Amino acid sequence: MNLRSNKQLLAMSAVDGRLTNIMDGLALTFSRHLRDNRYAKNGFDGPACITSIAPPLPPKECVRMPHLVATQFSPVLGDTIIWELQTEREAEEWLGGPLTGQDFVEGNLGRIIKLRQEIRSGKLAKTEQEKELQYNLSKGRYLSILFVYQHIDLFKNMFDETKLE
């Protein structure tokens, strides 16, 4: 992870020994996107280490963080989960607080993706929690993993009361 301290490195993706594919390009592109957004918001000047679409086993000093990426490999817009490795300190700086609810988030990625699809299709806002979600998103936000962590209690309540899968 000490490569991340290189200020000239703008994007980084960890790929195993197999041949690369389109998803590896997506990981590299998303790494640059995260770096640019984090630099603009809080001056973080290191690249994001995006690994793959398979959840990685993080090294001891790291945590894994899923990210939802809108993809269009067919006529239908979909979502792909890609993973980032961060130190816990980096994750907490990015989240703006302690890293809590990681097991909950990882265990509900399918539900979170289904919510993104419902938001896109205009099929949300049946329950009070869904109305609250729409209200929070109407403030210039979109349903990202950062948003989920920042509103973790809302998602815990929502998933207790609705059956999305």
Element (H, E) at 67: strand 62-71
| Residues 6 or more apart in contact with residue 64 via CB below 8 angstroms | 51, 55, 56, 58, 83, 84, 85
143 and 120, same domain (yes or no): yes
- Which residue range forms the structural domain that includes residue 41? 1-96
Residue 150 pLDDT grade (very low, low, confident, very high; cuts 50, 70, 90):
very high
Residue holding tokens 């990981």? Answer: 27
**pLDDT of 162 above 70:** no
pLDDT digits (tens, 9 = 90+) for 16-31: 555 455 566 666 677 7
55 and 110, same domain (yes or no): no
**pLDDT of 5 above 60:** no
- Out of 81, 96, 111, a domain closes at 96
**Which whole number is the average pLDDT over 44-64?**
78
63 and 135, same domain (yes or no): no
Residue holding tokens 């963080």? Answer: 65
64 and 89, same domain (yes or no): yes
54 and 8, same domain (yes or no): yes
pLDDT digits (tens, 9 = 90+) for 87-136: 898 888 888 889 989 999 999 999 999 999 888 888 876 888 888 998 88
**pLDDT of 43 above 50:** yes
74 and 121, same domain (yes or no): no
36 and 72, same domain (yes or no): yes
- Out of 96, 113, 131, a domain closes at 96
114 and 56, same domain (yes or no): no
79 and 114, same domain (yes or no): no
Taking the C-alpha atoms of residue 85 and residue 13, their distance in angstroms, rounded to an integer, is 10
Of 68-72, 120-124, 135-139, which has the strongest mean pLDDT?
A: 135-139
56 and 133, same domain (yes or no): no
Total domains in the fold of the chain: 2
Q: Name which of 156, 158, 76 is nearest 125 in CA terms.
A: 158
91 and 109, same domain (yes or no): no
How, if at all, do strands 62-71 and 49-50 pair? unpaired
152 neighbors 104 (Cβ within 8 angstroms):
yes
